[in-house]
């Protein structure tokens, strides 16, 4: 196996946004898989209404997403775009970072730019669809899409500027090893913010959870066979 070409200069636009764009696409892919799994489980339960394992199947069919807030969620402001409150956000960011490194090495700049533009376009259209119908909707949708695509906080941006000033010395080009270091700051921030959230008060955690639940769309309902008047959101 050939060594990783760490000294290779990479596309600036992809270095700036590709990691976040891949994270958005992976979140949506996992959400689609989870929704399909719910629908399949629901179909399986309705096929065996008298099964002794029916109650267990209904519980399994009511499993919820791991807080991967979709671009189609009711989170109109995009406040839940970050992965601070997820249990698997570190894994997701690590996968997307590894994928972005491979793409930066293997693909052309035009293709990388196309991925970034297409992802932002999808997020913008979704933000238009779920936004509140008012005259400022296009501007608000641009802002919301930007929060999904560029979800780094001032914490990351501050240390990134320090890195650019001290290590890159303001150069306009970016090497692959600089890009990995640059984006690892975002992954480390996730760990820091996750620890900060875990140390917060129960009231704060409850407030965040209520905000997350309020942003979810109910795709399908699980019906209890013992009482058809009871509905539980899946």
Query: Alpha-carbon distance 224 to 226, whole Å?
Result: 5
Query: Alpha-carbon distance 210 to 206, whole Å?
Result: 6
Segment holding 217, helix H or strand E: none
Query: Alpha-carbon distance 6 to 139, whole Å?
Result: 39
Q: Are the C-beta atoms of residues 176 and 7 closer than 8 Å to each other?
A: yes
Percent of the chain with pLDDT strictly greater than 70: 81
Q: Which of 30-34, 78-82, 172-176, 196-200 has the lowest mean pLDDT?
A: 172-176
Query: Alpha-carbon distance 74 to 212, whole Å?
Result: 9
Of 107 and 11, which is predicted with more confidence?
Answer: 107
Is the pLDDT at 170 greater than 70, yes or no?
no
Residues belonging to the chain = 234
Query: Alpha-carbon distance 73 to 205, whole Å?
Result: 20
- pLDDT at position 232 is 46
Around Cβ 114, how many Cβ atoms within 10 Å?
12
- pLDDT at position 150 is 82
- pLDDT at position 96 is 92
Q: Are the C-beta atoms of residues 134 and 40 closer than 8 Å to each other?
A: no
Task: Work out the pLDDT band at 25, boundaries 50, 70, 90.
Answer: very high
Is the pLDDT at 54 greater than 60, yes or no?
no
Please give the C-alpha separations between residue 132 and each of 77, 122, 136, 144, in angstroms, as whole numbers.
Answer: 10, 18, 9, 12
State the pTM of this model. 0.81
Is the pLDDT at 139 greater than 90, yes or no?
yes
Q: What average pLDDT does this structure show over 15-38? A: 88
């Amino acid at each position: 196996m050939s060594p990783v070409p760490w000294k290779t200069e990479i596309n600036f636009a992809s270095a700036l946004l590709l990691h976040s764009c891949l994270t958005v696409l992976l979140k949506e892919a996992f959400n689609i898989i989870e929704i399909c799994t719910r629908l399949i489980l629901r179909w399986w339960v309705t096929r065996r209404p008298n099964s002794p394992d029916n109650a267990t199947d209904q519980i399994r069919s009511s499993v919820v997403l791991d807080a991967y807030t979709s671009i189609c969620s009711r989170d109109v402001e995009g406040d839940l775009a970050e992965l601070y409150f997820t249990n698997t956000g570190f894994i997701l960011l690590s996968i997307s970072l590894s994928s972005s490194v491979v793409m930066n090495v293997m693909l052309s700049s035009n293709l990388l730019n196309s991925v970034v533009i297409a992802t932002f376009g999808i997020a913008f259209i979704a933000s238009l669809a779920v936004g509140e119908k008012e005259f400022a909707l296009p501007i608000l949708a641009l802002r919301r899409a930007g929060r999904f695509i560029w979800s780094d906080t001032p914490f990351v941006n501050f240390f990134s500027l320090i890195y650019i000033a001290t290590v890159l010395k303001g150069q306009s080009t970016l090497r692959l090893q600089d890009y990995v270091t640059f984006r690892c700051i975002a992954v480390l921030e996730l760990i820091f913010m996750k620890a900060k959230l875990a140390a917060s008060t129960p009231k704060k955690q409850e407030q965040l959870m209520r905000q997350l639940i309020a942003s979810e769309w109910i795709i399908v309902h699980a019906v209890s066979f013992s009482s058809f008047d009871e509905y539980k959101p899946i």
